Chain A
């Protein structure tokens, strides 16, 4: 079974530029999560989708971050404009179950460096 796929693995941009990350969850998984992991810290939830609807985006900085999950499968996370403090690994995870139940399967992450 293929795991959660993410791209790009690495991205370096200058502040005020924009960047987009892509995630393809495990086939059939209804719930998709985007986490931000700053160096030396645990993952922090940015947004949670159930199918193509947003369940929780309370910690998403909506002035600069946006995310979508069209057709309830792939998802993209965009940052525009980027700030220095956005340097982090962006992890995508998926779960077969809905309603914040079940095991989370993580991708390998997209490492963003903002200069």
Chain B
């Protein structure tokens, strides 16, 4: 089955700096890679996703990049703000298969 590794497990950044979270996956058939943000006491919420026919996708201050050859994908948050503080999860899925999550990254944005 699919295995998703996520790094780092914790990330502390100064407000205004950038944050980068990296994930690797094992199943070369995976073609859908969402990122979820989970705030304290809440369920995960989709913030951006990318499919395997696209190498990069951007939405305001967040962007995702995908390298299918190396089987890794990354989340980039620019100009971080205190409200970006949360736990972020990457996930991967092959067509028809279940979504497999990474272990999560706790991001703390210091004002």
Contact = CB atoms under 8 A, between A and B. Distances in A.
Contacts of A107: 43
Interface residues of B, number: 23
A103 B96 CA distance: 13
Interface in B42-70: 42-46, 49
Interface in B6-26: 6
Interface in A74-115: 91, 93, 99-101, 103-109
Given A4-B43, A100-B96, A103-B49, 12 more contacts: A41-B103, A41-B104, A43-B89, A45-B98, A91-B43, A91-B44, A100-B95, A100-B97, A101-B95, A104-B46, A107-B43, A109-B43
Interface of A: 4, 40-45, 48, 56, 91, 93, 99-101, 103-109
